[in-house]
Every structure is written in C-alpha cells, then in structure tokens.
Amino acid sequence: MPPEIFIDLVQCKLQLQEEGKVIKAYPVAVGAKQTPSPVGVYSITNKAHWGGAFGTRWMQLSVPWGTYGIHGTNRPASIGQQVSHGCIRMHNRDVEEVYEQVEVGTQVRIIGSFTYRLSVNGSRGNLVQLIQQALQEQGVLSRGM
C-alpha cells in the first residue's frame, strides 16, 4: 500500500503514513492567516521538477478552487511558520524525499484551523466548500452544483 500524506496546519508538520502509522515527519510552512492552506482530503494530481521560489519539486493538490501544492522553497527560514499563500513549503531535501515516495493519486489529508471569512458573491475556498457540504447534507443543494 503506498504511503499517504497527513498535514497538520497548526503544528506545521507533514507526515508520511502507511496504514495510519507515521513513517517520517517533516517541518513545513503553511498558509498565512490571510491566505490559509486548504483543509480537507485531496490527492496529488501532478508532480514536477520546478525551481526558483518553488524549490526543487512540486506536487499539485486536487483543490477545486485554485492551484495549491506541496513544494520546496528558496526561503528555508520560513519553514515552521504560517507564511505561505496557501501552499505547503518544505526544505528542498525533504520535498525531494517525499516526492520519491509518493505517486500521482496519493491521498493528502490536511487538518487544522483556518480563518472564517464572510462569504459573499464570488467567494472561493474552504468556507464555500463547508457551506456547500452542509447544504448538501441537509438536502438543500444537489451535488451537481
């Protein structure tokens, strides 16, 4: 069974897990209060070798409202802080290690708190997802919307 990724936004920690057991844990940087990381269950949809501010590796997440990923950084001092625009930043050596162990389709579970903001016409992100999920559970909104 391939490993899964578990990310705790409060602790700024990413774990590789197999069958619920931690294989290895890594410190990460996560989204800032104004630009939070998405909370939920996603999967890796793309893997690439990038550079510059995105470090040496990129793993895109299946977040439906924007482009978010797990990637390296050219700012290693940011690791352990809530400073990104929503992506998960890792030390380059760490993201290279994770990159080699996961495949496209790997499940990524992200937990933690995020800032609730007023939902207005044109809103996107976690708040909209939570509202839609609650409305679907109450039978007010169909899944096709």
Cα–Cα distance list, 33 to 87, 94, 105, 125, 142 (Å): 13, 24, 28, 13, 31
Query: Is the confidence at residue 133, as pLDDT, over 80?
Result: no
Give the mean pLDDT of 31-41.
90
- What pLDDT was estimated at residue 84? 95
- What pLDDT was estimated at residue 142? 65
User: Of the listed 12, 49, 71, 85, which one is catalytic?
Assistant: 71
* Structural domains of the chain, with CATH: 4-114 (2.40.440.10), 115-145 (no CATH)
Would you say 108 and 44 are in contact if contact means Cβ atoms under 8 Å apart?
yes
User: Of the listed 12, 85, 87, 91, which one is catalytic?
Assistant: 87
Query: Is the confidence at residue 145, as pLDDT, over 80?
Result: no
- Based on the residue annotation, tell me whether 71 is a catalytic residue of this protein: yes
Which of 75, 89, 73, 103 is CA-nearest to residue 37?
89
- The sheet carrying 13-18 orders its strands as 21-27, 13-18, 4-8, 107-111, 40-48, 58-61, 69-71, 88-89
- What pLDDT was estimated at residue 87? 97
Share of the chain above pLDDT 90, in %: 66
- Phi, psi (degrees; rounded to nearest 5) at 96: -65, -40
- Based on the residue annotation, tell me whether 12 is a catalytic residue of this protein: no
